[in-house]
Amino acid sequence: MENCIFVVMETADGAVKNVGFEMLTPAKEIAAAKNLKTVAVLIGSGLDDAAKAAGNYGADAVITVDDNAYKAYASDEYAAVLAALAEKYQPEAIFIGATPNGKDLAPRVAAKLGAGCASDVTAMKLNNEGKIAFTCPVFGGTILAENVVESCPVMATVRGGAFKKAEPEERSVEVVCEAEISPEAEDIKTKIVDAVKEISEAVNLEDADVIVAGGRGMGSAENFALVKELADLLGGVVGATRAPIESGWISRAHQIGQSGKIVAPKLYIACGISGATQHVTGMVGSDYIVAINKDEDAPIFDVANVGIVGNVMQVIPEMIEEIKKMRA
Ligand SMILES: Cc1cc2nc3c(=O)[nH]c(=O)nc-3n(C[C@H](O)[C@H](O)[C@H](O)COP(=O)(O)OP(=O)(O)OC[C@H]3O[C@@H](n4cnc5c(N)ncnc54)[C@H](O)[C@@H]3O)c2cc1C
């Protein structure tokens, strides 16, 4: 399995997080150009379904380190295991999702391997020298830096939603169970005493099929409740531009865009949103975009599949009423 790219897939309760599947897309493109294999790496417990899914989403092979000891993420253990796998298989690149756990894991592994790591990557391509050029938003998203990592392996954390996952298809790929790999006693410097599940509002925009997003055009925190009502009715999640967040109408966890989350739902309804580049870069990958804006020249209409010119305070209640009628 030499000459490969590792795509490290985080799991939660045995299921792969979307960013793992998404990373396979650029990894496979780069692997094809450089004649490498794309290898999914899974560390956890009860990984059979996850390994199968990794193959179905396009990994050429899967390595699992499956043990009850890795049921929950633990920095020292996971870092030691992943570094040991990297030393054994010598991948040319290692991609890790820029999730809270991934952001903890990547620099630890990079330090162990003496590798460089690009952070929070939103795009990547091979440059003229055949090296991977990573696009990374820096200084709070004000600048998009292009980084080339001059180490072997090249490491990167990749932002969720930045790439589109492939359509899964039933495939059978090689799965290597690395039962022997385990951390040395001296690798373990911390012990997890307790895990607190939620300390802030959890908003899973990246995995949502439907997002209803509100902008400054919603006018007030009270009016913003309409966005939530429509999202709830459609089984969706509430998103926002930076403007209502800065006005204190909704929390930052909902921000979509260059300095927020990148999303690609099946349906995106933009309510009172002008379509500034910094917002559009975060949602333009949506399958179907409906925009409601009172200004017929608003740039959001340039990326919308359906544009409704009108006042959100009239259009959204009518949409809600019609959907309720259809379901009655
Ligand atoms: C470095 C940097 C990073 C940024 N990152 C992000 C980011 O991640 N995400 C993000 O969203 N923004 C980001 N921004 C801000 C971005 O530039 C815009 O300012 C922001 O997206 C505008 O939000 P908006 O569309 O809600 O507001 P506006 O641009 O003010 O647009 C409001 C729209 O609502 C319409 N409207 C008003 N009233 C009604 C009504 N009653 N009915 C229907 N339509 C109505 C108006 O016609 C207008 O088009 C960033 C800016 C910078 C400089």
Give the pair of three-digit tokens for residue 11. 């799991």
Fold for the domain defined by 4-187? Rossmann fold (3.40.50)
Tokens 């001059």 identify what position?
Answer: 150
Domain 210-327 bears CATH identifier 3.40.50.1220: yes
The closest of 144, 9, 113, 14 to 68, measured between CA atoms, is 14
Q: How confident is the model at residue 328 (pLDDT cuts 50, 70, 90)?
A: confident
Task: Assess whether pLDDT exceeds 70 at residue 34.
Answer: yes
Q: Is 26 in the pocket of ligand 1 (CB under 6 A)?
A: no
- CA quadruple 8, 205, 52, 29: dihedral sign: negative
Task: Assess whether pLDDT exceeds 70 at residue 42.
Answer: yes
Query: Residues spanned by CATH 3.40.50.1220 within the chain?
Result: 210-327
Write out the H or E segment, with its range, that includes residue 19. helix 18-34
Q: Is 281 in the pocket of ligand 1 (CB under 6 A)?
A: no
The pLDDT value given to residue 200: 58
Average pLDDT estimate for 206-235: 96
Average pLDDT estimate for 300-315: 98
| Whole-number Å distance between alpha carbons of 71 and 48 | 13
Candidate of 212, 241, 301 to mutate for ligand 1, largest count of ligand atoms within 8 Å of Cβ? 241
pTM of the model: 0.75
Average pLDDT estimate for 194-222: 86
Candidate of 278, 294, 295 to mutate for ligand 1, largest count of ligand atoms within 8 Å of Cβ? 278
Sort residue 257 into left (φ over 0), alpha (ψ -120 to 50) or beta.
left
Query: Residues spanned by CATH 3.40.50.620 within the chain?
Result: 4-187
Sort residue 315 into left (φ over 0), alpha (ψ -120 to 50) or beta.
alpha
| Whole-number Å distance between alpha carbons of 61 and 1 | 8
| Whole-number Å distance between alpha carbons of 270 and 300 | 8
Task: State in Å: Cα 283 to ligand 1 middle.
Answer: 13
Question: For all residues of the chain together, what is the average pLDDT?
Answer: 94
Give the residue whose CA is nearest to atom 29 of ligand 1: 274
Q: Is 107 in the pocket of ligand 1 (CB under 6 A)?
A: no
Asked if the peptide bond before residue 107 counts as cis, ω within 30 degrees of 0, the response is no
| Whole-number Å distance between alpha carbons of 16 and 143 | 31
Per-residue pLDDT tens digits for 50-97: 999 999 999 999 999 999 989 999 999 999 999 999 999 999 999 999
| Whole-number Å distance between alpha carbons of 176 and 172 | 13
Q: Which of 37-46, 137-146, 160-169, 283-292 has the lowest mean pLDDT?
A: 137-146
Give the residue whose CA is nearest to atom 38 of ligand 1: 217
| Whole-number Å distance between alpha carbons of 141 and 218 | 25
Write out the H or E segment, with its range, that includes residue 121. strand 117-121
Task: Assess whether pLDDT exceeds 80 at residue 38.
Answer: yes
Give the residue whose CA is nearest to atom 2 of ligand 1: 142
Task: Assess whether pLDDT exceeds 80 at residue 281.
Answer: yes
